[in-house]
Amino acid sequence: MVSLKGRSFLTLKDYTKEEITYLLDLAAYFKKLKKEHILHDRLKGRNVALIFEKNSTRTRASFEVAAADLGMGSTYLDPKSSQIGKKESIEDTAKVLGRMFDGIEYRGFGQEIVENLAEHAGVPVWNGLTNEYHPTQVLADMLTIREYMGDLKGRTLVYLGDAKYNMGNSLMIGCSKLGLNFRAIAPSRYFPEEELVHQCREWAAESGAEIVLTEDINEGLKGADAVYTDVWVSMGEPDDVWEERIEDLTPYRVTMDVMKRANENAIFMHCLPSFHDLDTEIGREINLKFGLTCMEVTDEVFKAYNKPVFDQAENRMHTIKAVMAATLSDDWNI
């Protein structure tokens, strides 16, 4: 039996294929209970702290709804009104919150911050996104692929865009652990770091997957079951990188032509938020400055293929619930 009680969830690197699969199964179980309106508030009386040093819609909402469904209270700490980092160190914050809460979510900058929190909190800490990793997103993505394809092993996920940041890194880890082929298509300076690629290739060798990093769109898309992209400039990056990113990554935008080169039943995936039209402030600013009407994906593709994308968003809640439930209790009979 898999037991994750007391563990933090900082990156999928720390989790085995069996443990990740257990979390996906638990998420599917909770999803079914939720759809059938069956209460599963077995963690009544517990409380979780949610620290957000960067903005969020999905992750914050997922943690709050999942905590409520499990019967737990949640406290949201935003970057401006808490003492974190400015007047109080991460270590002291961890010690304080660990005395009051049963678990702590952290979204922010360097991975070392969430690791520092976990080292000193004495309760499970969950990574809600750092510059380097976004592990709860990848759990939701894997659940979504499994729902669409029936299985994960042997499937091929192709990621176009900035593959060296949190989403590229975490997808490569998740795929290599679970046996999906991972391909990053981007200019080579956007490939994940060599050391991580090397580590993932070892996991891939065990799971039977292949990792390919290529600049060649046609080659990379052959046999793709899922075509994934993310924003070109991530939260916390300086505004002056936009120009270079637009120049480098426009050839790697997901267009109808890109989708045609993938498998016939391929799904389009995006962690969201996405710049596919001019209905956002940043989208309009970029339009005025550079003339683009969309960025990483065309509006045509987004509109035609968005069902799995919103399934991914919903699955954030079910998978985050599984992470909290499994690391706080062993009492789930699935």
Let me know if 134 is a catalytic residue: yes
Residue 27 in the binding site for ligand NVA (CB under 6 A): no
Q: Which of 114, 125, 271, 328 binds ligand CP (CB under 6 A)?
A: 271
- Selected catalytic residue, list 46, 58, 60, 107: 107
Residue type, 320: I
> Got the DSSP string for 242-265?
HHHHHHHHGGG-B-HHHHHHS-TT
* Residue pair 19/4 in contact by the 8 Å Cβ criterion: yes
Q: Which long-range contacts link 196-202 to residues 24+ away (Cβ below 8 Å)?
A: 196/169, 196/172, 197/172, 199/13, 200/172, 200/173, 200/175, 200/176, 201/176
Q: If we measure between CA atoms, which residue out of 220, 222, 170 comes closest to residue 192?
A: 170
Q: Which of 149, 272, 282, 292 binds ligand CP (CB under 6 A)?
A: 272
Q: For the chain, how far is it from start to end, CA to CA, in angstroms? A: 10
Let me know if 107 is a catalytic residue: yes
- Nearest approach, Cβ of 236 to ligand NVA (angstroms)? 7
Residues 120-139 close enough to bind ligand CP by CB under 6 A: 129, 137
Burial of residue 248 (CB within 10 Å: 0-12, 13-18, 19+) is middle
Residues 164-223 close enough to bind ligand NVA by CB under 6 A: 165-167
- Nearest approach, Cβ of 140 to ligand CP (angstroms)? 8
Q: Which part of the chain contacts ligand CP (CB under 6 A), choosing from 31-39, 50-58, 148-156, 171-179?
A: 50-58
d(CA 164, CA 178): 20
Instruction: Describe the strand order of the beta sheet including 211-214 as a list of residue ranges.
Output: 211-214, 181-185, 156-160, 226-229, 267-270
Residue 282 in the binding site for ligand NVA (CB under 6 A): no
Closer residue to ligand CP, CB minimum distance, 58 or 155: 58
- Interaction partner, residue 165 (ligand NVA, ligand CP, none; CB < 5-8 Å by kind): ligand NVA
Residue type, 153: K
d(CA 163, CA 186): 7
Let me know if 155 is a catalytic residue: no
Q: Which of 56, 298, 315, 327 binds ligand CP (CB under 6 A)?
A: 56
Which residues fall within 8 angstroms of residue 313, CB to CB, at 6 or more apart? 58, 140, 272
d(CA 59, CA 270): 14
Q: Which of 59, 166, 274, 319 binds ligand CP (CB under 6 A)?
A: 59
* Residue pair 135/12 in contact by the 8 Å Cβ criterion: yes
- Nearest approach, Cβ of 128 to ligand NVA (angstroms)? 10
DSSP state of 82: S
- Selected catalytic residue, list 141, 225, 230, 311: 230
Closer residue to ligand CP, CB minimum distance, 262 or 313: 313
Let me know if 271 is a catalytic residue: yes
Give the distance from CA 97 to its chain's centroid.
25
Residues 94-133, one symbol each (x = binds ligand NVA by CB under 6 A, - = not), give -----------------------------------x----
Residues 234-273, one symbol each (x = binds ligand NVA by CB under 6 A, - = not), give xx-----------------------------------x--
Residue 57 in the binding site for ligand CP (CB under 6 A): yes
Let me know if 60 is a catalytic residue: no
Q: Which part of the chain contacts ligand NVA (CB under 6 A), choosing from 65-73, 81-89, 161-169, 276-284?
A: 161-169
Give catalytic residue positions.
Answer: 107, 134, 137, 230, 271, 316
